[in-house]
Structure 1
Amino acid sequence: MDTSQHSLSTLFEQLGLPADAASIEAFISRHAPLPPDMVLAEAPCWNASQASFLHEGIDEDSDWAEVIDELDALLRH
């Protein structure tokens, strides 16, 4: 099991997205706000692999869950 601390940057790397601060901010600006009733993993901005990773991270309460929740909150502002 991976016990390292995860950040938005490492989450974006895991998702195969640019992970620098400016790219993360641009992604959030481009895709926010998500509808209140939309599950993060079902947002149209994800490919199937990304959606699966996000869905499993939350469902399995993995060590990624906290930073996935952080991204979810940022996309709902």
Structure 2
Amino acid sequence: MDTSEHTLSTLFAQLGLDNEPAAIERFIQEHKLPAGTALAKAAFWNPAQASFLQEAWRADSDWVDVIDELNKLLH
């Protein structure tokens, strides 16, 4: 069982993205999603990233709160 704290920083690391605070802020500013676009369906994810986001959400995993936070920030 994964007992690590899930934060935006750890989510970005899990997705293989730069997880430094400035890089996260820049990513959020550069990747806004229109209303009605599901986070996992965004064109900027590679297939592995999209799959992780979708499966973690569907499974209501430990990642769901931080994925929801990212979703809100990108919308």
Give the alignment's TM-score, normalised by structure 2.
Answer: 0.96
CA–CA separation in structure 1 for the residues paired with 2:65 and 2:4: 13
Unpaired runs of 5+ residues, structure 2, are: none
The alpha carbon displacement at 1:5 in A equals 1.4
Post-superposition offset of 1:19: 0.2
Residue 48 (structure 1) aligned with residue 15 (structure 2)? no
Q: Could you report, residue by residue, the CA deviation over 1:21-76 in whole angstroms, capped at 9, with x for unpaired residues?
A: 000000000001x1111110000110000000000110000000000000000001
Q: Identity over the aligned pairs, expressed in percent?
A: 59
Equivalences for 1:28-39 in 2 at 5 Å? 28-32=28-32, 34-39=33-38
What is the distance in 1 between the residues matched to 2:3 and 2:20? 22
**Residues matched between the structures, number:** 75
The normalised TM-score by structure 1 is 0.94
Off by >4 Å, runs of 4+ in structure 1 = none
| Distance across 1 between alignment mates of 2:56 and 2:69 | 13
